Amino acid sequence: VVRPFGEIPGLWKNGVANLYNFWKQDGFRNLHRIMVQNFNKFGPIYREKIGNYESVNIINPEDAAILFKAEGHYPKRLNVEAWTAYRDYRNRKYGVLLKNGEDWRSNRVVLNKEVISPKIMENFVPLLDEVGQDFVARVHRKIKRSGQNKWTTDLSQDLFKFALESVSSVLYGERLGLMQDYIDPEAQHFINCITLMFKTTSPMLYIPPGLLRLVGAKVWRDHVAAWDGIFNQADRCIQNIYRQSRQETGNQQKYPGVLARLLMQDKLSIEDIKASVTELMAGGVDTTSITLLWTLYELARHPNLQEELRAEVAAARAESQGDLTGMLKRIPLVKGALKETLRIHPVAVSLQRYIAEDVILQNYHIPAGTLVQLGLYAMGRDPKVFPRPEQYQPSRWLRTEMHYFRNLSFGFGPRQCLGRRIAETEMQLFLIHMLENFRVEKQRHVDVQSTFELIILPEKPIILTLKPL
């Protein structure tokens, strides 16, 4: 017989006491590890309430399948209150990230065509390839200047610039010039604001931003300043393209970028376009850059695998004879490496949906409207889901049985990551160019753990050495 909702194991009776204990365990920065502990303690399903944040948590692919079948026509994630509170406070529109219901769907349909459809992707490939080439040229310059035929560094700042340059080039059809030596201080400020925005969001998952605003708390003030910086910079970029688009006749051959295409189509209001383009620009920086940093770190730890990937890239280059899209179809192991990086170091600790209908999970009845979370980080490290989870093995993704509700790093279904294809293509091209040019090494015996600042980040700098081949 199916057991009632009230019998699910876990700590959900006293949200305030749980928040206190969570805070004592430094839970704000350890959320991912605390979730792993909870699954070990309670089993494959547990119910939890921390402050006002109430959820049912699952870890198995089979349960993920049930969850996503019950997501309904308007899939809804956890509402990140800090993000909506900022927009309400400043009177700004929500973009596709924060909209819900029919408003979300109608915007998303238009955006899908311009951002994630296979047809439009072909336009992005040459743009992203050029940024990848410029990154490699920049590294070569750094190596020359070092006078040691190598460059040892924490690449994170360079990768942030690479990621911002990449996403901007696709959105605006123009280069910002961030791969040069001197960069616009406004762009650097934008990058800093995104990191601060994520960092200040995580405490506000548990403590209502309205309350923090009332007492004038520093996290709220920092959060507002961070979004202000993000919106100001995005507004400048958007205004620039908007002005140009009104002067041009419109019969250009060249692909003009996502924003210009959205403006030409006239299917969304200017305010809706601005809101979503700002989210795309902000969502495109820390996500891909950190994933690439973790990937280089894993390649440095696995030199034989690195050579195997290099050989795959060389063969793909030779076979595709200058056709980049064709080349991207010939690098399954490189793609496996990116999936493997995101399995061990996911950007998102969990995927969540407010379910649209009643479901049965692990023989418990879950009523419609419940927030159900799939513990993505915990699932990626569960030996029952991924044999030998501690091993970085890109080749595991070449087996199709690995794909049943396991490849979920970008989410699932119509509400999945809108930037997914941009992110994947950008990261694949980056790795192609890096593997063709450099060997990546690291100091021995250095293990880097992760920390939770809304997204999962390395807890300390990752120092790598790049040597020309």
Q: Residue 68 Cβ, how far from ligand HEM at the closest point, in Å?
A: 9
| Candidate list 11, 125, 167, 268; residue touching ligand HEM; CB under 6 A | 167
296 vs 455, which CB is nearer to ligand 2DC? 455
User: CA separation (Å) from 464 to 158, 295, 297, 375, 392?
Assistant: 13, 11, 7, 30, 18
233 close to 194: Cβ distance less than 8 angstroms? no
Q: Residue 28 Cβ, how far from ligand 2DC at the closest point, in Å?
A: 11
User: CA separation (Å) from 393 to 9, 299, 378?
Assistant: 34, 11, 17
Q: Residue 9 Cβ, how far from ligand HEM at the closest point, in Å?
A: 26
Contact set with ligand 2DC (CB under 6 A)? 77-78, 80, 97, 205, 279, 282-283, 287, 347-350, 352, 417, 454-455
If one asks whether residue 340 binds ligand HEM (CB under 6 A), the answer comes out as no
Identify the residue whose tokens are 């200058």: 322
Q: Coil, strand or helix: which one is 91?
A: coil
Give the residue from 18, 76, 79, 80 showing the smallest Cα distance to 46.
18
95 vs 256, which CB is nearer to ligand 2DC? 95
- Within a 10 A sphere around the Cβ of 325, how many other Cβ atoms? 13
Compute the chain's Rg from CA coordinates: 22
Q: Which does 350 bind (CB under 5 to 8 A by kind): ligand HEM, ligand 2DC, none?
A: ligand 2DC
Residues ≥6 apart with Cβ < 8 Å to 133: 433
If one asks whether residue 291 binds ligand HEM (CB under 6 A), the answer comes out as yes
Separation CA 420–CA 410 (nearest Å): 6
Total residues binding ligand HEM (CB under 6 A): 27
Q: Residue 400 Cβ, how far from ligand HEM at the closest point, in Å?
A: 21
Separation CA 22–CA 50 (nearest Å): 8
109 close to 102: Cβ distance less than 8 angstroms? no
If one asks whether residue 348 binds ligand HEM (CB under 6 A), the answer comes out as yes
If one asks whether residue 418 binds ligand HEM (CB under 6 A), the answer comes out as yes
Q: Residue 24 Cβ, how far from ligand HEM at the closest point, in Å?
A: 29
Sign of CA dihedral 449, 457, 61, 45: positive
Q: Which does 342 bind (CB under 5 to 8 A by kind): ligand HEM, ligand 2DC, none?
A: ligand HEM
If one asks whether residue 423 binds ligand HEM (CB under 6 A), the answer comes out as yes
Span 392-411, contacts to ligand HEM by CB under 6 A: 409-411
Q: Residue 287 Cβ, how far from ligand 2DC at the closest point, in Å?
A: 5
Q: Which does 282 bind (CB under 5 to 8 A by kind): ligand HEM, ligand 2DC, none?
A: ligand 2DC
| Candidate list 419, 425, 454, 464; residue touching ligand HEM; CB under 6 A | 419
52 vs 79, which CB is nearer to ligand HEM? 79
Q: Which does 409 bind (CB under 5 to 8 A by kind): ligand HEM, ligand 2DC, none?
A: ligand HEM
If one asks whether residue 288 binds ligand HEM (CB under 6 A), the answer comes out as yes
196 vs 440, which CB is nearer to ligand 2DC? 196
By the 10 Å C-beta count (0-12 exposed, 13-18 middle, 19+ buried), 271 is classed as exposed
Q: Residue 200 Cβ, how far from ligand 2DC at the closest point, in Å?
A: 12
Q: Which does 268 bind (CB under 5 to 8 A by kind): ligand 2DC, ligand HEM, none?
A: none
User: CA separation (Å) from 462 to 22, 60, 152, 389?
Assistant: 28, 31, 10, 22
If one asks whether residue 289 binds ligand HEM (CB under 6 A), the answer comes out as no
Separation CA 314–CA 311 (nearest Å): 5
- Within a 10 A sphere around the Cβ of 371, how many other Cβ atoms? 17
306 vs 428, which CB is nearer to ligand HEM? 428
Q: Which does 349 bind (CB under 5 to 8 A by kind): ligand 2DC, ligand HEM, none?
A: ligand 2DC
If one asks whether residue 351 binds ligand HEM (CB under 6 A), the answer comes out as yes
Give the residue from 392, 372, 390 showing the smallest Cα distance to 381.
390
Q: Residue 372 Cβ, how far from ligand HEM at the closest point, in Å?
A: 12
- State the chain's maximal CA–CA distance in angstroms: 72
Phi-psi region of 191 (alpha: psi -120 to 50; beta: other; left: phi over 0): alpha
Separation CA 340–CA 380 (nearest Å): 9
Q: Which amino acid is at 173?
A: G
Contact positions vs ligand HEM (CB under 6 A): 77, 96-97, 108, 167, 279-280, 283-284, 287-288, 291, 342, 347-348, 351, 409-412, 415-419, 422-423
